[in-house]
């Protein structure tokens, strides 16, 4: 297992924070964060009506001149509601570019039969999902059963069969140890992940700058070994524009500016866009 020097990780975070502070109110950076956001609602009280209104809000922001966000992220049974609401956007609207992400695979725990996980992914895609966020078997990783964790993801990748982008949630707050986060990231990418993602947002510890630095190291090493560039999604507890800018700066610092597009960088958030909209429209 790769050795991660924690003092070096801390130094990289300090460097990124200093860069954010020096840039101040970075409008271009804020716009880029907006474009890379998966606008997310994952409440137990979600309903087709509530999700339709949530999606309509996203469309209204675009109609007021803000760029389209990367996607709307919902539970798989609510993919239809997002699709219907997006279809009501005016013809030719940039809102047509907004994708649909479904959290699948027994989100957030991932604790069910593999066949159920695969079926849920397939049904979400059939109903209109462009992207699948699925949960890695963190229990298997913590138990050292790396083959099981990797094989489950490989089967889900095969089920998706190129019909959707696959983002794999590592649940870094539960893994905690930097070396284990690095190992899980490598396993997910070896299994075919298009993105690796920090968290479900349903655990006590979600995204942290430390975890994101380690994940970026894994992505960089994987690219060197396999010549395949994997994206990164930061999710869980990101509420302020400054937090979003910090994570974007870490990714730029560790992986390069070429990662700062929706094709390789995402932020999963709900309340974040309220703050971003206020700053971008003032």
pLDDT in tens, 218-236: 999 999 999 999 999 999 9
Catalytic annotation, pick one of 117, 150, 167, 197: 197
Which pLDDT band holds residue 155 (cuts at 50, 70, 90)? Answer: very high
Q: How far is 45 from 38, CA to CA, in rounded Å? A: 19
Q: Which of 133, 150, 167, 194 is catalytic?
A: 133
pLDDT tens digits, 66-82? 999 999 999 999 999 99
Q: Return the percentage of the chain with pLDDT > 90, whole number.
A: 94
Provide the β-strand partners of residue 196.
168, 232
Kindly list the distances between the CA atom of residue 97 and the CA atoms of 16, 69, 89, 200, in Å, as whole numbers in the listed order.
31, 8, 11, 25
Strand partners, 103: 133
pLDDT at residue 97, rounded to an integer: 96
The burial class, CB within 10 Å (0-12 / 13-18 / 19+), for 207 is buried
Does residue 137 sit in helix, strand or coil? Answer: coil
pLDDT beyond 90 at 6: no
Average pLDDT, rounded, for the chain? 96
**Residue 135 confidence class, pLDDT cut points 50, 70, 90:** very high
Task: Output the pLDDT for position 1.
Answer: 63
Which pLDDT score, from 0 to 100, does residue 209 have?
97
The token duo for 80 is 């239809």
Determine whether 6 is an active site residue: no
Can 274 be counted among the known catalytic residues? no
pLDDT in tens, 80-126: 999 999 999 989 999 999 999 999 999 999 999 999 999 999 999 99
Residue 17 pLDDT exceeds 70: yes
- pLDDT per residue as tens digits for the range 47-69: 999 999 999 999 999 999 999 99
Show the tokens assigned to 143. Answer: 């138990």
Other CB atoms within 10 A of residue 116 CB? 12
133 assigned to active site:
yes
């Amino acid at each position: 297992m790769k050795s991660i020097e924690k003092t070096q990780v801390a130094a990289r975070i300090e460097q990124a924070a200093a860069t954010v502070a020096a840039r101040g109110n970075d409008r271009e950076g804020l716009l880029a964060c907006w474009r890379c956001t998966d606008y997310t609602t994952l409440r137990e009280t979600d309903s087709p009506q509530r999700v339709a209104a949530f999606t309509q809000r996203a469309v209204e922001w675009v109609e007021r001149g803000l760029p389209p966000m990367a996607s709307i992220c919902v539970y798989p049974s609510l993919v239809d509601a997002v699709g219907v609401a997006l279809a009501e956007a005016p013809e030719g609207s940039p809102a047509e570019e907004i994708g649909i992400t479904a959290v699948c695979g027994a989100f957030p725990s991932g604790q069910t039969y593999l066949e159920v996980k695969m079926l849920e992914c397939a049904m979400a895609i059939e109903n209109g999902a462009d992207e699948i966020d699925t949960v890695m078997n963190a229990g298997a990783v913590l138990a050292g059963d790396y083959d099981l964790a990797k094989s489950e993801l490989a089967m889900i990748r095969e089920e998706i069969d190129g019909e959707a982008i696959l983002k794999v949630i590592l649940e870094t707050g539960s893994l905690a140890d930097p070396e284990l986060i690095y190992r899980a990231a490598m396993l997910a990418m070896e299994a075919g992940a298009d993105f690796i993602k920090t968290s479900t947002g349903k655990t006590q510890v979600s995204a942290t700058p430390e975890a994101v630095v380690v994940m970026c190291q894994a992505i960089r090493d994987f690219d060197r070994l396999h010549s395949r560039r994997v994206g990164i999604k930061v999710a869980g507890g990101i509420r302020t524009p400054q937090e979003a800018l910090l994570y974007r700066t870490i990714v730029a610092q560790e992986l390069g500016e070429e990662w700062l597009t929706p094709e390789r960088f995402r932020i999963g958030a709900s309340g974040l866009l309220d703050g971003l909209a206020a700053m971008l429209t003032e």
